[in-house]
Amino acid sequence: MLFLQHIIDSLKTGGRCGIVLDEGVLFRTNENAFVQTKRKLLDDCNVYAIVSLPGGVFTAAGAGVKTNILFFEKGKRTEQIWYYDLSDIKVGKRTPFTMDKFDEFFRLLPDRADSERSWMVDRQAIEDNGFDIKAVNPNRKVEQDTRTPAELIAVIEEKQIEIMNALAELKQ
């Protein structure tokens, strides 16, 4: 939090910043220092975008924590924050996080347009939420398994029969 406070204080009016932060900084509201620093950030700067990055983006660099990129400009109070969510992208050795993942972000940023990955949150909603500014995508489609326990048991029993038949073939 001290580093973020130092950056805010060091910027001149009109100065811009893009910073990668641990997600804990955004959602922690249980300690006064976190709330006061985020209040100062929103009062002194216009936080115009937050990008939620996938977990594991910085694992190779020794940081395994979930991160976000904050973009802000000093001199104007934040009235709305535009969020862009990349957190569902799987990152690994064979699937690196590449710049092409930001194509839609750069296309939507000038107008801060809504999409399945982006949305706007008003300052009042942030204040009402105790200055929790974590990205929680309201547009994400959540696939839910609606099968009943009986249907799941039937699927398991069917698969068990397939496995037993395959084992019997292997034994022959």
For residues 145 and 88, what is the distance between their CA atoms, to the nearest angstrom? 19
Q: What is residue 60's predicted lDDT score, i.e. its pLDDT?
A: 64
pLDDT digits (tens, 9 = 90+) for 51-110: 999 987 876 666 678 899 999 999 999 999 999 999 988 888 888 889 999 999 999 999
Q: Name the CA radius of gyration of the chain, rounded.
A: 22
- Please give the average per-residue pLDDT across 112-116, as a whole number: 93
Of the pLDDT bands very low, low, confident and very high (cuts 50, 70, 90), residue 38 is very high
pLDDT at 153 over 80: yes
Mean pLDDT of the chain, nearest integer: 90
Model pLDDT, residue 61: 66
Q: What is the pLDDT of residue 163?
A: 94
Tell me which residue has tokens 């068990």. Answer: 160
Q: What is the pLDDT of residue 82?
A: 97
- List of residues 6+ apart from 37 with CB closer than 8 A: 1, 4, 5
Mean pLDDT within 43-53: 95
Distances (CA, A) of 90 to 53, 57, 101, 137: 10, 9, 11, 17
Among 71-75, 132-136, 146-150, top mean pLDDT goes to: 71-75
Residue 1 reports pLDDT greater than 90: no
Q: For the whole model, what pTM was predicted? A: 0.77
Return the pLDDT at 81.
97
Q: What per-residue confidence (pLDDT) applies to 29?
A: 83
Residue 171 — pLDDT band, cuts 50, 70, 90? Answer: very high
Q: What is the DSSP string of 123-154?
A: HHHHHHTTT------TTPPPP-----HHHHHH
